[in-house]
Amino acid sequence: MMRRLRPIAASCLLVIGLAAAALGAAGVARAGEQAYEPMAASVRSALAAAVAEYDDPEPHFASVSEKVDWLDQMSAKLPRRWKPSYQQRVDFLKTVRYEAQRAGLDPELMLGLIEVESNFRKYAVSSAGARGYMQVMPFWVDVLGDGNRAELFQMRTNLRYGAVILRHYLDTENGNLFRALGRYNGSLGKAQYPQLVQRAWERWKYRRKSVATAAR
């Protein structure tokens, strides 16, 4: 069963949850496979602020040992063909974790979603026109950003948009991950995509080392 995720995002993201109920009841205009839903000005402003607010992408870890262990485990799970330098892998994983935590998401869920969406291809483009690691639809840049769609091929920009959008859908669906994932993929109400992400999420789950194992 899909778990419900509780938002723990920065203050600007909390505004989204308060304003989500104000989403308009107007008809939905399709943008590829994902629906763009007209939204209240307060929701749009909060989302735009969440996308634009940049700072140093330093994720939280409970300890130095957890940081080293988490990065090591996640790096080992990246596709074999995905072989940038060690520092590039670390930068990618730290950015994923930071953006996930900032949006109140599980970092391993975000990695699972990336696996399903693009299989970690930075320049992936779907038949619907979605771009990058998290397959962000270009209309989001027009709605929330400056309209520069090429930026969706930049690692941090793509991860920021993807995390903010998924958080928005979770808030819209009152924490129902199954329905939020359906909205993200443009297949609301169908089980296939949420199940694919769930299975990928399970593969990416962090297995904390036991004290005995860590001491060896």
Catalytic residues: 117
Torsion, Cα of 15, 20, 25, 31 (10° steps): 90
Give yes or no for a contact between 68 and 209, defined as CB atoms under 8 angstroms apart. no
> What is the Rg, in whole angstroms, of the alpha carbon atoms belonging to the chain?
17
- Which tokens is 216 given? 């060896």
Helix (H, G, I), strand (E, B) or coil at 156: helix
For the chain, helix, strand, coil in percent to 5 are 55, 5, 40
**Separation of alpha carbons 65 and 68, rounded Å:** 5
**86-102 vs 155-172: helix crossing angle, rounded to 10:** 30
Which stretches of 28-154 are assigned E, i.e. beta strand?
29-31, 34-36
How deeply is 58 buried, as exposed, middle or buried, from its count of CB atoms within 10 A (0-12, 13-18, 19+)?
exposed
